[in-house]
Chains A and B, each alone.
Chain A
């Protein structure tokens, strides 16, 4: 393979990115060296096993990936803003919608949600960390290695271009030669292993590490939704693991799982993909529902309406999520009976979801609502998401779906589900829990700019897609003729996407502004919260709680405050056991990334040689008998005095 095959060449946009990436890398390395920060980075971040720091790293990665996926989206909007534009060619457009989809779902939504879960869940259940802190670090670094491997594709070797669903036979070697789709198969596999480990970690954490007295029906609702999400991860991700392994075998080793010839079956890919892919939608949306519930209850100053029905609704949605996958391909030759069954199960999901919507509305009813930025996102979520939900019921009707299938109507629908459902929730969660992570609030005034720009831009961008979709525009069309009459709608949509981007820029500016100027005097409980994470300092100390709180009812912290029961006696303190940092997670992830890269290019000898690193990492891990360390009572007391004043 010659060098100009290795690097992607011949496109000015990509050339500019290559130069920009190169310069950024050199600049970053130079800056860290100049500031003498390498040791600090290694000790405080790269080898950390602290759930809060891991969560923050997830969030930073998620925001970066949001930028990358967002640029992809803007490029698509620019290309379709006028008829017959020559800005992108068909091949380039295919690559961009593929990476946009993969990055937004797997490398933006997932890490942002898992990041917030990491930061918040141990604090909400009164735990010192997750059950397996080292495994948690490995999860993060594997996700990061997968994300980097996937992103490198557009400058080295070429991007995948068969859609984020990568349907066979198109995604097979025969119709998509080149290494692009190898990146898809291998990068997602590496990230997926990390996600599976996260799922296992949170299941055990929530079962085993709840504070004394925190029975199942006293769990904060975000913990419930995370618990059920983790179960879906454990149940669904192995299916994707197998599907991606088959894809890898087909593409790299010439097997016939999904090919048309030699007894393969392309429909097997579709079924496996959506058996994972549909639950995946709920993996991203259920934690988001949990965050909205926390934010709405806090800022309506009421306990959550219908707590138990919320829990049952989440469990019901999780159960049904496994039974609807065929609705993604009603038009691909199923019998009428099969389509009818999946039509029914799909529509049944509207029932528990409706329960949740009404619970949120009843929580708001007669509440003393405070319109903080976090609350605004939650309020905007309800109507926007309902539009997504109602159009989902339209799509669920198999007979009608023959009209909508693979049109822009579908694209509009899932953006109306995922953006209000997930992105709004992440924003709400970021504004809400920011003080707990960093010890200062994000600016509320810039936050309102962020909110209004984003929400208006979002509706302007995606609402027109419903109309052109109903008018017959299919998805993934890189251009169209003026005679279709879509130019007005799509031009309007393109303008909306610029406003949407301005909203995102406002968030970035807000982070910068607040980091420099915001007041550091926010106290431990800036929002008058209801759950345990507000019972400890902001930012949360590395040991989380000097003394694990005892819980005697739902919204425990709210009642502790009412009863003046939030003090700390020095005599109650005991030494706290903490896990030690570890180099094995980041080491293993780097090796996985390197092995993955060699596999993408089918350099098998190099891949086998690099795999020795995996063995080294695993052996080192097996022989690691480090027991962690203890924080003494004196140290605890000193740190607690800093924010509490004197101890009792």
Chain B
């Protein structure tokens, strides 16, 4: 079922790959709705601190900035990985993907530390409406990053075994869409949770 368009990149070569990629875009559409709901609920509840700490009380902007740099850089290296893939450079794809995952793991490490810090400050998920919405929004994003690290690790094994084929290429491409999407969500979190929380 090879497509007639031969000048397409490798990941778009078969009809099934094209459908997989389109299907993943539609899935990301559903993810946008999911995160929009989490954000909207957060905006409803963010001032309901019920006498517990507010965002301003507990946020440490320096750590959040480091997390942001880690994740944004990982999105860049993820792009480099796909760039290597397009030029059939297996080692490049491998190395840049591993760098991406390491940066992602660094982000997760910082975020978990941040959460522990908040709990010590008396802001656990059970404290108030604000903390419930905050931890759920951040936690859902963090869980996505965690899932992505495990998923892409599996893809690396497949890449090592099979090399860059039509199938592995479309898998890596889809994983890269996912990774960039998490970055986009983080930009909204950084802006509308942390920055807004520090000023308002």
- Contact flag A623-B154 (CB < 8 Å), given A249-B136, A263-B50, A263-B129: yes
**B1-59 interface (Cβ within 8 A of A):** 1, 15, 18-20, 22-23, 26-27, 29-31, 33-34, 37-38, 41, 44-45, 48-50, 52
Query: Could you say which of A200, A239, A241, A254 contacts B26, with CB atoms under 8 Å apart?
Result: A200
**A213-259 interface (Cβ within 8 A of B):** 234-239, 241-243, 245-246, 249, 253-257
**A20-56 interface (Cβ within 8 A of B):** none
In the complex, what distance in Å separates the CA atom of A326 from the CA atom of B5? 49
- Contact call B128/A256, Cβ cutoff below 8 A: yes
- Contact call B31/A238, Cβ cutoff below 8 A: yes
Query: Could you say which of B31, B34, B129 contacts A257, with CB atoms under 8 Å apart?
Result: B129
- Contact call A242/B41, Cβ cutoff below 8 A: yes
- Contact call B41/A577, Cβ cutoff below 8 A: no
**A612-641 interface (Cβ within 8 A of B):** 619, 622-623, 625
In the complex, what distance in Å separates the CA atom of A132 from the CA atom of B133? 34
- Contact call B41/A272, Cβ cutoff below 8 A: yes
Digitize B43-87: 1 where CB-to-A-CB distance is under 8 Å, 0 elsewhere: 011001110100000000000000000000000000000000000
Q: What residue in chain A is nearest B15 (Cβ atoms)?
A: A208
- Contact call B30/A262, Cβ cutoff below 8 A: no
Q: Which residues of B contact A264 (CB under 8 A)?
A: 45, 48, 129, 132
- Contact call B50/A235, Cβ cutoff below 8 A: no
In the complex, what distance in Å separates the CA atom of A474 from the CA atom of B23? 45
Q: What residue in chain B is nearest A242 (Cβ atoms)?
A: B37
- Contact call B48/A253, Cβ cutoff below 8 A: no
- Contact flag A265-B44 (CB < 8 Å), given A234-B29, A255-B125, A619-B154: yes
**B136-194 interface (Cβ within 8 A of A):** 136, 151, 154-155, 158, 162, 167
- Contact flag A622-B41 (CB < 8 Å), given A256-B132, A261-B50: no
- Contact call A262/B37, Cβ cutoff below 8 A: no
- Contact call B48/A263, Cβ cutoff below 8 A: yes
Query: Could you say which of A208, A255, A272 contacts B18, with CB atoms under 8 Å apart?
Result: A208
Query: Could you say which of B26, B37, B126 contacts A255, with CB atoms under 8 Å apart?
Result: B126
Quote the shortest CB–CB distance from A364 to chain B (angstroms). Answer: 37
Query: Could you say which of B23, B41, B49, B130 contacts A200, with CB atoms under 8 Å apart?
Result: B23
A204 part of interface (Cβ distance < 8 Å): yes
Q: Which residues of B contact A622 (CB under 8 A)?
A: 151, 154-155, 158
A380 part of interface (Cβ distance < 8 Å): no
Q: Which residues of A contact B18 (CB under 8 A)?
A: 208
Query: Chain A binding site: helix, strand, loop or mixed by DSSP?
Result: helix
In the complex, what distance in Å separates the CA atom of A272 from the CA atom of B43? 13
Query: Could you say which of B1, B127, B167 contacts A262, with CB atoms under 8 Å apart?
Result: B127
In the complex, what distance in Å separates the CA atom of A265 from the CA atom of B48? 9
Q: Which residues of B contact A207 (CB under 8 A)?
A: 22
Counting residue pairs across A and B whose Cβ atoms lie within 8 Å, the total is 110
In the complex, what distance in Å separates the CA atom of A263 from the CA atom of B38? 17
- Contact call A235/B129, Cβ cutoff below 8 A: no
Q: What residue in chain B is nearest A579 (Cβ atoms)?
A: B16
In the complex, what distance in Å separates the CA atom of A131 from the CA atom of B15? 10
- Contact call B33/A235, Cβ cutoff below 8 A: yes
- Contact call B15/A238, Cβ cutoff below 8 A: no
Q: What residue in chain B is nearest A197 (Cβ atoms)?
A: B27
Q: What residue in chain A is nearest B37 (Cβ atoms)?
A: A242
Q: What residue in chain B is nearest A202 (Cβ atoms)?
A: B26
A361 part of interface (Cβ distance < 8 Å): no
Q: Which residues of A contact B1 (CB under 8 A)?
A: 577
A201 part of interface (Cβ distance < 8 Å): yes
In the complex, what distance in Å separates the CA atom of A257 from the CA atom of B131? 9
A268 part of interface (Cβ distance < 8 Å): yes
In the complex, what distance in Å separates the CA atom of A237 from the CA atom of B129? 23
Quote the shortest CB–CB distance from B18 to chain A (angstroms). Answer: 7
A196 part of interface (Cβ distance < 8 Å): yes
- Contact call A132/B129, Cβ cutoff below 8 A: no
- Contact call A265/B125, Cβ cutoff below 8 A: no
A162 part of interface (Cβ distance < 8 Å): no
Query: Could you say which of A131, A242, A254 contacts B23, with CB atoms under 8 Å apart?
Result: A131
In the complex, what distance in Å separates the CA atom of A263 from the CA atom of B52? 10
Q: Which residues of A contact B19 (CB under 8 A)?
A: 131-132, 204, 208-209
- Contact call B33/A257, Cβ cutoff below 8 A: no
Query: Chain B binding site: helix, strand, loop or mixed by DSSP?
Result: helix
A203 part of interface (Cβ distance < 8 Å): yes
Query: Could you say which of A234, A265, A625 contacts B30, with CB atoms under 8 Å apart?
Result: A234
Q: What residue in chain B is nearest A619 (Cβ atoms)?
A: B154
Quote the shortest CB–CB distance from B138 to chain A (angstroms). Answer: 14
- Contact call B50/A256, Cβ cutoff below 8 A: yes
**A178-204 interface (Cβ within 8 A of B):** 196, 199-201, 203-204
Q: Which residues of B contact A241 (CB under 8 A)?
A: 34
Q: Which residues of A contact B23 (CB under 8 A)?
A: 131-132, 200-201, 203-204
In the complex, what distance in Å separates the CA atom of A143 from the CA atom of B136? 25
- Contact call A196/B154, Cβ cutoff below 8 A: no
- Contact call B33/A263, Cβ cutoff below 8 A: no
- Contact call A265/B129, Cβ cutoff below 8 A: yes
- Contact flag A245-B26 (CB < 8 Å), given A239-B37, A256-B128, A619-B154: no
In the complex, what distance in Å separates the CA atom of A239 from the CA atom of B33? 7
- Contact call B22/A208, Cβ cutoff below 8 A: yes
In the complex, what distance in Å separates the CA atom of A552 from the CA atom of B45? 55
Residue of A199, A209, A249, A255 ringed by the most chain B CB atoms within 10 A: A255
- Contact call B37/A238, Cβ cutoff below 8 A: yes
Quote the shortest CB–CB distance from B188 to chain A (angstroms). Answer: 15
Q: Which residues of A contact B22 (CB under 8 A)?
A: 204, 207-208
Q: Which residues of B contact A242 (CB under 8 A)?
A: 34, 37-38, 41
Q: Which residues of B contact A208 (CB under 8 A)?
A: 15, 18-19, 22
Q: What residue in chain A is nearest B41 (Cβ atoms)?
A: A268
**A521-549 interface (Cβ within 8 A of B):** none
In the complex, what distance in Å separates the CA atom of A265 from the CA atom of B45? 8
Q: Which residues of B contact A200 (CB under 8 A)?
A: 23, 26-27, 30
Q: Which residues of B contact A254 (CB under 8 A)?
A: 126
**A305-363 interface (Cβ within 8 A of B):** none
Quote the shortest CB–CB distance from A205 to chain B (angstroms). Answer: 8
In the complex, what distance in Å separates the CA atom of A131 from the CA atom of B17? 10
Q: What residue in chain A is nearest B125 (Cβ atoms)?
A: A255
Q: Which residues of A contact B128 (CB under 8 A)?
A: 256, 262-263
Digitize B104-136: 1 where CB-to-A-CB distance is under 8 Å, 0 elsewhere: 000000000000000000000111111011001
Quote the shortest CB–CB distance from B79 to chain A (angstroms). Answer: 23
- Contact call A262/B129, Cβ cutoff below 8 A: yes
Q: Which residues of B contact A245 (CB under 8 A)?
A: 136
Q: Which residues of B contact A201 (CB under 8 A)?
A: 23
Q: Which residues of A contact B155 (CB under 8 A)?
A: 622
Q: Which residues of B contact A131 (CB under 8 A)?
A: 19, 23
- Contact call B125/A249, Cβ cutoff below 8 A: yes
Q: What residue in chain B is nearest A241 (Cβ atoms)?
A: B34
Contact residues of A with B, CB < 8 Å? 131-132, 196, 199-201, 203-204, 207-209, 234-239, 241-243, 245-246, 249, 253-257, 261-265, 268, 272, 275, 577, 619, 622-623, 625
Known: A265-B45, A623-B154. 4 other contacts (CB 8 A): A234-B33, A238-B34, A249-B136, A261-B50
Pull 22 A–B residue pairs with CB atoms less than 8 Å apart, ordered by A. A131-B19, A132-B20, A196-B30, A199-B30, A203-B23, A204-B19, A238-B31, A238-B33, A238-B37, A239-B33, A242-B37, A255-B125, A256-B50, A256-B128, A263-B45, A263-B50, A263-B129, A264-B129, A265-B44, A272-B41, A577-B1, A622-B151
Q: Which 6 A-B pairs have the closest CB atoms?
A: A263-B48, A263-B129, A263-B50, A238-B34, A255-B132, A238-B33
